[in-house]
Amino acid sequence: MAQDNLCSAFTSSDWIAISSVVIALCALGVSFWQGWVAREYSRLSSRPLLEIECNAFVNAGILIKNCGHGPAIVKSISVTSNNEEFQLCGRKDYQRFVNHILPESAQALINTSIPEKDSAIAASEERFLLRIQTVEGDNTIGKHLDTLFKAFLVVVKYESLYKETFTIRYEQY
């Protein structure tokens, strides 16, 4: 009987108003959920993925590739060789690093692409951190670099556009 009184207390326009509020709240909830899903999709679809390659003979050097779908914002790059760490963030650091890894008698052309702090590596972009072109037929530097690269530890810290931090480590075993 109490339910009959409750139902009869509301007119049809009251029921329509209550139904409208319930539907509007459901639509608001779905709208917030869709916004969250869209942001999550955008975050995942713009995630960078860096890979590091070290090659001692053909195109000798250290190569960084962004195989992800979004830009990688480089925060720091360090290379450890023979228990000596080099923070590669400027020309002087690179020069000190190159002097450390190449013998004084080496005849080679050295190219670098120095990513500064907070610089971006675009999706599908490749950058040589260090590229060494030796005199044709000279395998001594290649053998020397091959030995060094086996003892290298390269660490790159980077971020996505959404401020997610990532670290990639390269070391040969």
SS3 readout for 1-26: CHHHHHHHHCCHHHHHHHHHHHHHHH
pLDDT at 57 over 80: no
Note the pLDDT of residue 137. Answer: 62
pLDDT at 49 over 70: yes
Distance CA 127, CA 112 (A): 9
16-29: per-residue pLDDT in tens? 999 999 999 999 99
The mean pLDDT of the chain is 84
pLDDT at 104 over 80: no
> Could you tell me the pLDDT band of residue 150, with boundaries at 50, 70 and 90?
confident
Note the pLDDT of residue 2. Answer: 54
pLDDT at 30 over 90: yes
Mean pLDDT of 104-125: 78
